[in-house]
Amino acid sequence: MAAMQHFLRFFLGKCCARPRVHHFQPFSGGAVRAISAPMLHINNLTYRIAGRILLDTATVHIPQGSRVGLVGRNGAGKSTLLKLIMGEIASDGGDIRLRPRASLGKLSQEAPDGDTPLIDCVLAADSERATLLAELDADPDHQMPPERMSEIHERLNAIDAHSAPARAASILSGLGFPAEHHSRGVGEYSGGWRMRVALAAVLFASPDLLLLDEPTNHLTCTLLLGWSRFCYHVTAQ
Protein backbone atom coordinates (compact mmCIF):
# COMPACT_ATOMS: atom_id res chain seq x y z
CA MET A 1 0.00 0.00 0.00
CA ALA A 2 1.34 3.41 -0.93
CA ALA A 3 2.31 5.14 2.28
CA MET A 4 0.48 8.28 3.27
CA GLN A 5 2.71 11.29 2.82
CA HIS A 6 1.17 13.57 5.35
CA PHE A 7 -0.81 13.46 8.56
CA LEU A 8 -2.87 16.04 10.38
CA ARG A 9 -4.06 14.61 13.65
CA PHE A 10 -6.56 16.69 15.57
CA PHE A 11 -7.28 16.26 19.25
CA LEU A 12 -10.14 17.82 21.23
CA GLY A 13 -8.19 18.71 24.34
CA LYS A 14 -8.79 21.34 26.97
CA CYS A 15 -5.29 22.63 27.53
CA CYS A 16 -5.48 25.96 25.68
CA ALA A 17 -8.00 28.54 24.56
CA ARG A 18 -6.69 28.74 20.98
CA PRO A 19 -5.64 25.88 18.71
CA ARG A 20 -1.91 25.19 18.85
CA VAL A 21 -0.02 23.45 16.09
CA HIS A 22 2.57 20.84 17.04
CA HIS A 23 4.89 19.36 14.42
CA PHE A 24 6.05 15.76 14.84
CA GLN A 25 9.03 15.01 12.61
CA PRO A 26 8.78 11.95 10.35
CA PHE A 27 10.77 8.95 11.54
CA SER A 28 12.39 6.39 9.25
CA GLY A 29 15.11 3.89 10.07
CA GLY A 30 16.23 5.71 13.19
CA ALA A 31 16.84 9.06 11.52
CA VAL A 32 14.73 12.14 10.98
CA ARG A 33 14.11 12.76 7.29
CA ALA A 34 14.68 16.15 5.74
CA ILE A 35 11.65 18.42 5.52
CA SER A 36 10.53 18.72 1.91
CA ALA A 37 8.30 21.05 -0.09
CA PRO A 38 5.02 22.22 1.51
CA MET A 39 2.01 19.95 1.14
CA LEU A 40 -0.48 22.46 2.51
CA HIS A 41 -0.47 26.27 2.52
CA ILE A 42 -2.83 28.20 4.79
CA ASN A 43 -2.46 31.96 4.42
CA ASN A 44 -4.23 34.65 6.48
CA LEU A 45 -7.22 32.41 7.08
CA THR A 46 -10.16 34.07 8.84
CA TYR A 47 -13.42 32.47 9.88
CA ARG A 48 -16.31 33.83 11.95
CA ILE A 49 -19.29 32.14 13.57
CA ALA A 50 -22.22 34.40 14.45
CA GLY A 51 -19.87 37.38 14.34
CA ARG A 52 -17.31 35.77 16.67
CA ILE A 53 -13.83 35.38 15.20
CA LEU A 54 -12.81 31.75 15.42
CA LEU A 55 -9.74 31.93 13.18
CA ASP A 56 -8.02 35.27 12.80
CA THR A 57 -5.59 35.62 9.85
CA ALA A 58 -4.10 32.18 10.62
CA THR A 59 -1.08 31.21 8.55
CA VAL A 60 0.80 27.91 8.46
CA HIS A 61 2.73 25.96 5.83
CA ILE A 62 2.82 22.21 6.42
CA PRO A 63 5.75 20.36 4.77
CA GLN A 64 5.23 17.12 2.89
CA GLY A 65 6.03 14.13 5.05
CA SER A 66 5.09 15.84 8.32
CA ARG A 67 2.84 14.64 11.10
CA VAL A 68 1.04 17.52 12.74
CA GLY A 69 -1.14 17.73 15.82
CA LEU A 70 -3.52 20.59 16.57
CA VAL A 71 -4.49 20.86 20.23
CA GLY A 72 -7.08 23.13 21.80
CA ARG A 73 -10.11 23.22 24.05
CA ASN A 74 -13.63 22.53 22.80
CA GLY A 75 -14.83 25.29 20.49
CA ALA A 76 -11.33 26.52 19.65
CA GLY A 77 -11.87 25.76 15.96
CA LYS A 78 -10.07 22.48 15.31
CA SER A 79 -12.87 20.62 13.53
CA THR A 80 -13.84 23.84 11.77
CA LEU A 81 -10.33 24.07 10.35
CA LEU A 82 -10.65 20.54 8.95
CA LYS A 83 -13.91 21.50 7.27
CA LEU A 84 -12.27 24.58 5.78
CA ILE A 85 -9.37 22.53 4.42
CA MET A 86 -11.79 19.99 2.95
CA GLY A 87 -13.81 22.79 1.32
CA GLU A 88 -16.97 21.83 3.22
CA ILE A 89 -17.41 25.42 4.42
CA ALA A 90 -16.18 28.75 3.07
CA SER A 91 -13.80 31.06 4.91
CA ASP A 92 -14.32 34.76 5.50
CA GLY A 93 -10.88 35.52 4.16
CA GLY A 94 -7.50 34.05 3.34
CA ASP A 95 -6.38 31.19 1.17
CA ILE A 96 -5.95 27.41 1.50
CA ARG A 97 -3.89 25.63 -1.16
CA LEU A 98 -2.94 21.97 -1.48
CA ARG A 99 0.09 20.78 -3.44
CA PRO A 100 -0.89 20.28 -7.12
CA ARG A 101 -2.29 16.81 -7.90
CA ALA A 102 -2.20 15.80 -4.23
CA SER A 103 -5.12 13.73 -2.93
CA LEU A 104 -6.97 14.69 0.23
CA GLY A 105 -8.79 12.38 2.62
CA LYS A 106 -10.69 12.74 5.88
CA LEU A 107 -12.03 10.25 8.37
CA SER A 108 -15.79 10.36 8.05
CA GLN A 109 -17.68 11.18 11.23
CA GLU A 110 -20.67 9.21 9.93
CA ALA A 111 -20.41 5.50 10.66
CA PRO A 112 -21.14 3.26 7.64
CA ASP A 113 -24.27 1.14 7.84
CA GLY A 114 -26.26 -1.42 5.86
CA ASP A 115 -25.63 -4.93 4.58
CA THR A 116 -22.37 -4.22 2.74
CA PRO A 117 -19.61 -6.60 3.87
CA LEU A 118 -16.78 -5.02 5.84
CA ILE A 119 -14.21 -5.87 3.19
CA ASP A 120 -16.31 -4.24 0.45
CA CYS A 121 -16.74 -1.07 2.52
CA VAL A 122 -12.98 -0.75 2.73
CA LEU A 123 -12.33 -1.64 -0.93
CA ALA A 124 -14.87 0.97 -2.06
CA ALA A 125 -12.67 3.70 -0.57
CA ASP A 126 -10.30 3.37 -3.54
CA SER A 127 -12.62 5.12 -5.97
CA GLU A 128 -10.27 4.82 -8.94
CA ARG A 129 -9.99 1.05 -8.58
CA ALA A 130 -13.75 0.74 -8.12
CA THR A 131 -14.44 2.87 -11.22
CA LEU A 132 -12.05 0.90 -13.41
CA LEU A 133 -13.43 -2.45 -12.29
CA ALA A 134 -16.98 -1.23 -12.81
CA GLU A 135 -16.09 -0.24 -16.37
CA LEU A 136 -14.79 -3.75 -17.02
CA ASP A 137 -17.85 -5.35 -15.42
CA ALA A 138 -20.11 -3.25 -17.64
CA ASP A 139 -18.51 -4.85 -20.72
CA PRO A 140 -18.86 -8.63 -20.19
CA ASP A 141 -18.70 -9.29 -23.94
CA HIS A 142 -15.45 -7.29 -24.34
CA GLN A 143 -16.93 -4.84 -26.82
CA MET A 144 -14.88 -1.83 -25.70
CA PRO A 145 -11.98 -0.70 -27.92
CA PRO A 146 -8.80 -2.72 -27.32
CA GLU A 147 -6.91 0.48 -26.56
CA ARG A 148 -9.26 1.32 -23.70
CA MET A 149 -9.11 -2.24 -22.38
CA SER A 150 -5.33 -2.02 -22.35
CA GLU A 151 -5.41 1.36 -20.59
CA ILE A 152 -7.65 -0.02 -17.84
CA HIS A 153 -5.48 -3.06 -17.18
CA GLU A 154 -2.30 -0.99 -17.23
CA ARG A 155 -3.76 1.41 -14.68
CA LEU A 156 -5.02 -1.43 -12.47
CA ASN A 157 -1.51 -2.87 -12.49
CA ALA A 158 -0.02 0.54 -11.71
CA ILE A 159 -2.19 1.01 -8.61
CA ASP A 160 -1.56 -2.60 -7.52
CA ALA A 161 -5.27 -3.38 -7.70
CA HIS A 162 -4.76 -7.15 -7.57
CA SER A 163 -3.41 -6.93 -4.01
CA ALA A 164 -6.19 -4.62 -2.80
CA PRO A 165 -8.32 -7.33 -1.09
CA ALA A 166 -5.31 -8.57 0.87
CA ARG A 167 -4.35 -5.02 1.89
CA ALA A 168 -7.90 -4.22 2.95
CA ALA A 169 -8.12 -7.42 4.96
CA SER A 170 -4.83 -6.65 6.68
CA ILE A 171 -6.07 -3.23 7.78
CA LEU A 172 -9.35 -4.66 9.08
CA SER A 173 -7.49 -7.33 11.04
CA GLY A 174 -5.19 -4.71 12.48
CA LEU A 175 -8.21 -2.80 13.76
CA GLY A 176 -9.59 -5.84 15.58
CA PHE A 177 -11.80 -7.58 12.99
CA PRO A 178 -10.99 -11.32 12.70
CA ALA A 179 -10.62 -12.59 9.13
CA GLU A 180 -13.75 -14.70 9.44
CA HIS A 181 -15.79 -11.53 10.12
CA HIS A 182 -14.69 -9.60 7.02
CA SER A 183 -17.65 -10.85 4.99
CA ARG A 184 -20.20 -9.80 7.61
CA GLY A 185 -22.47 -6.83 6.97
CA VAL A 186 -21.25 -3.61 8.55
CA GLY A 187 -24.72 -3.03 10.00
CA GLU A 188 -24.26 -6.01 12.34
CA TYR A 189 -21.82 -3.99 14.43
CA SER A 190 -22.26 -1.21 16.97
CA GLY A 191 -21.44 2.40 16.17
CA GLY A 192 -17.94 2.21 17.61
CA TRP A 193 -17.02 -0.82 15.54
CA ARG A 194 -18.55 0.72 12.43
CA MET A 195 -16.36 3.79 12.95
CA ARG A 196 -13.39 1.43 12.88
CA VAL A 197 -14.55 0.35 9.44
CA ALA A 198 -14.61 4.01 8.38
CA LEU A 199 -11.06 4.36 9.70
CA ALA A 200 -9.97 1.24 7.81
CA ALA A 201 -11.45 2.69 4.61
CA VAL A 202 -9.61 5.99 4.82
CA LEU A 203 -6.33 4.22 5.65
CA PHE A 204 -6.84 1.92 2.67
CA ALA A 205 -7.46 4.90 0.35
CA SER A 206 -4.02 6.22 1.38
CA PRO A 207 -4.43 9.90 0.43
CA ASP A 208 -1.42 12.23 0.24
CA LEU A 209 -2.93 14.43 2.95
CA LEU A 210 -5.01 12.71 5.61
CA LEU A 211 -7.10 14.69 8.10
CA LEU A 212 -8.08 12.84 11.26
CA ASP A 213 -10.51 14.25 13.81
CA GLU A 214 -10.28 12.21 17.03
CA PRO A 215 -9.50 8.96 15.17
CA THR A 216 -8.72 6.99 18.33
CA ASN A 217 -12.07 7.50 20.09
CA HIS A 218 -13.28 3.98 19.30
CA LEU A 219 -9.99 2.11 19.79
CA THR A 220 -9.02 -0.07 22.73
CA CYS A 221 -5.67 0.48 24.45
CA THR A 222 -4.13 -2.39 22.47
CA LEU A 223 -5.38 -1.04 19.16
CA LEU A 224 -4.32 2.46 20.15
CA LEU A 225 -0.75 1.24 20.55
CA GLY A 226 -0.87 -0.37 17.13
CA TRP A 227 -2.33 2.79 15.63
CA SER A 228 0.45 4.86 17.22
CA ARG A 229 3.10 2.56 15.73
CA PHE A 230 1.45 2.84 12.32
CA CYS A 231 1.47 6.66 12.44
CA TYR A 232 5.05 6.68 13.72
CA HIS A 233 6.54 4.49 11.00
CA VAL A 234 4.55 5.56 7.93
CA THR A 235 6.86 7.28 5.42
CA ALA A 236 6.35 9.25 2.23
CA GLN A 237 7.05 7.70 -1.14
Q: Where are the beta strands (DSSP E) in the chain?
A: 6-12, 20-24, 27-28, 31-32, 38-49, 52-63, 67-72, 93-98, 104-106, 209-213
The three state secondary structure string of 92-159 is CEEEEEECCCCCEEECCCCCCCCCCEHHHHHHCCCHHHHHHHHHHHCCCCCCCCHHHHHHHHHHHHHC
Q: What is the pLDDT of residue 137?
A: 93
Residue 211 located in a structural domain: no
Q: What is the pLDDT of residue 25?
A: 39
Domain with residue 26: its CATH number is 3.40.50.300
Angle at which helices 164-174 and 221-233 pack, to 10 degrees? 130
Residue 20 located in a structural domain: yes
| Cα gap 219→26, rounded to integer Å | 23
Question: Residue 1 pLDDT more than 90?
Answer: no
Residue 174 located in a structural domain: yes
Q: 227 falls in which pLDDT band (50, 70, 90)?
A: low
| Cα gap 188→186, rounded to integer Å | 5
- Cβ neighbours of 137 (radius 10 Å): 8
pLDDT digits (tens, 9 = 90+) for 103-144: 888 876 678 889 999 999 999 999 899 999 999 999 988 899
Mean pLDDT of 85-96: 91
pLDDT digits (tens, 9 = 90+) for 177-206: 999 999 999 999 988 899 889 888 988 888
Claim to verify: residue 127 and residue 163 sit in the same structural domain: yes
Claim to verify: residue 98 and residue 129 sit in the same structural domain: no
Full domain range(s) for residue 53: 6-103
pLDDT digits (tens, 9 = 90+) for 13-64: 222 344 554 444 333 333 333 345 678 999 999 999 888 888 899 898 888 8
Beta pairing, strands 31-32 & 209-213: unpaired
Claim to verify: residue 93 and residue 138 sit in the same structural domain: no
Domain boundary among 103, 126, 158: 103
Residue 234 located in a structural domain: no
Contact 24, 66 (CB under 8 A): yes
Q: 231 falls in which pLDDT band (50, 70, 90)?
A: low
Task: Work out how many domains the chain is built from and give that number.
Answer: 2
Collapse the DSSP code of 4 into the 3-class scheme (helix H, G, I; strand E, B; otherwise coil) and give the result.
coil
Single-letter amino acid code for the residue at 33? R
Q: 209 falls in which pLDDT band (50, 70, 90)?
A: confident
Beta pairing, strands 209-213 & 104-106: parallel
Q: 229 falls in which pLDDT band (50, 70, 90)?
A: low
* Torsion of Cα atoms, 195 then 201 then 203 then 204, to 10°: 160
Claim to verify: residue 97 and residue 123 sit in the same structural domain: no
Rounded to the nearest angstrom, the gap between the alpha carbon of residue 83 and the centroid of all alpha carbons in its chain is 14
Residue 237 located in a structural domain: no
